[in-house]
Structure 1
Amino acid sequence: MRDFRSERVCKIPPSGIRKFFDIAQEMEDVISLGVGEPDYDTPWNVREAAIRSIEQGQTAYTSNSGLIELRQEIKKYLSDSYGISYDPKKEIVVTTGASEALDISIRAVVDSGDEVLVADPSYIAYTSNVMLAGGVPVLVPCLEKDEFKLTPDSLMEKITKKSKILLCNFPNNPTGGVMTKEDYKGIADIVTDHDLLLISDEIYSELTYEGEKASAASVDDLWERTITINGFSKAYSMTGWRVGYICAPETICSAVLKIHQYVMLSAPTTAQYAAVEALRNGADACREMVSEYKIRRNLFVNGLNRAGLKTHMPNGAFYAFPNIIEYGISDEEFAERLLKEHHVAVVPGSVFGPAGVGHLRCSYAVSREDLMTAVGRIEQFVSDL
């Protein structure tokens, strides 16, 4: 019998993150720094809004684009936060999480053979989604010496005549690197001169610790050529609710909507009502969470540096990205031995792309107590090395 799987699917590697989760689940007394998920419950007022919607029988499909009141709140949030404006009727689509937003955005604009420039290191789904759409991912290194930012020089080195799209994620998973508005201005001329479309995944935008949070579309000349992706998973601790959104010019949004209406129809109705409440009355809970993450970041990163792991101070998301090159073993071997010998689960940086080689992704979305225990175990492991 023939192998019925598509060539595209066969070319996609399995998740490098899952490997370490599977090992950790079979062990006792493991501190996991591998999960990319807030350790907070969804705020109670948001949960109440969802319960209320169910009690009122608001359980039917919504518009393909999502509840109009949610799209209006998204418009208000983006206007208040970044000074950018979208028409909630034509330029905003609510999706089943930012993951669907990323997938259908890429499929809506990538043709077979198109080169997609991907800021590297990147979340593991980016290159796979590009390949599933028939595109060719081209990795643009974002290096530690540049604070893991996307620089004009790195971008120019990778552009070819086939380049069509630039895909980036700031604040970044896995590095915690950020782009300021000035940083986006630094690449704006390149994007426009080479007629690129920018897909900007800003799911961690609220988790920015110093300076003003930035959105690529707020830069002059970038709005008309930017797809902004965001959602509620990180800022409001709503990972399981699966609500995200896409903001883009009408021509692009209409293309995205074609795919969305066939593969998903609409995002979960109850979750959309919860998201409305999150945008209207969730800012205080978000600020409290971000304040706590900043404290944990400082404790953890300073602890890693004292333990002997050179670690850049991240300014966004909830990940540290320590450098382990000087220890003479691969990041995968380091992570495996740290898990098996000292029961701390981290993710090798190499699973996020070539620029991640020699690093580890460590999430500090765990309790302070667990972070300090993990630092102690890491210090012992480094000492043994």
Structure 2
Amino acid sequence: MTGNTKGFVSRVKEKNPNVTVTHCFLHREALVAKTLPKELSNVLDGAVRIFNFIKTRPLKSGLFAILCEEMGADHKTLLLHTEVRWLSRGKLLSRVYELREQLKTFLTAEKSEYALLLADEEWCARLAYMADIFAHLNELNTRMQGRNENVLTSTDKLHGFRSKLALWRQHVEKGSLEMFPLAQTGHSDNFAALCEVICKHLSTLEEKFSFYFPLTSPEAFDWVRDPFSSSAMDNANGLSLQQQEQLTEMRQDRGLKITFSDLPLDSFWLTAAKEYPVIADSAISVLLSFSTTYLCELSFSSLTYIKNKNRERLRAVDQELRVSLSSIPARISSLCSSKQAQVSH
């Protein structure tokens, strides 16, 4: 749908060759997270098979819930993992690890071969690491969501996470798993082999992050983030002479400098556009690019909530979606005051 050759992107560029195209940061991060060595992909496959063995059979699912309640577990059910729900992978692994003792007891009673997986300390240790690393990846994914997210803030978070991967790998090579609490508290007969697998996976993640998110100079847009900083002019070489002139002039505007600390970044540049339109338009074009498809996903989720099975006869949902997605809260009391209630009820 968005291909550069025949898709939407190519059709847009026929009308405007200078248009900027960005691939959703959340989608790219999900592609990175799917990269697993064989030792860890087998763990994920095993966790999914355990889930399917229980959840696809209502009787077994009910018996497992009773067992969890009797054993005093915090949870009674497993969580579904699907490829289209990127956060579900980490949630499934965490839940399986939390209920590993209950699952081992239940699967042993059912005489299932999957009980052997949970009896294997090495498999459980890798499961603990998988739950930890996907919890970190899910946190990164969640932090890049939001109405006020832009390309600059998302890029900063990705660069920060990439730096943490290198730091974690160095600590794992020294035999420390402090950054992975579940893996640290777990028990493994071959700790050195576990650290080797973790280092291999962290190195793969670094490579994939570099592939899907090519490293750009973080100072390139310092003039957008803070036009009054000392490094703003040093990194403005890519701007035209007229843009550099307006940026230089704006840096001496004391009124704007005071306003900069009181306004959000996008509101500041909209204010600056009144006097310095050329440089402000360039900054706004950078901030205007959507880094993620968060708003589209939000509308899909809202539509699913509005048009549920109890309201399946609802035809037009335009007004409901507008109220749901608008950043301006609806004045419900004012709307109700203009209507007369049915006195017969």
Q: Normalising by structure 1, what TM-score?
A: 0.27
Structure with the largest fraction of strand: 1
* Larger Cα-atom Rg: 2
Relative contact order higher in (CA < 8 Å, ≥ 6 apart): 1
Structure with the largest fraction of helix: 2
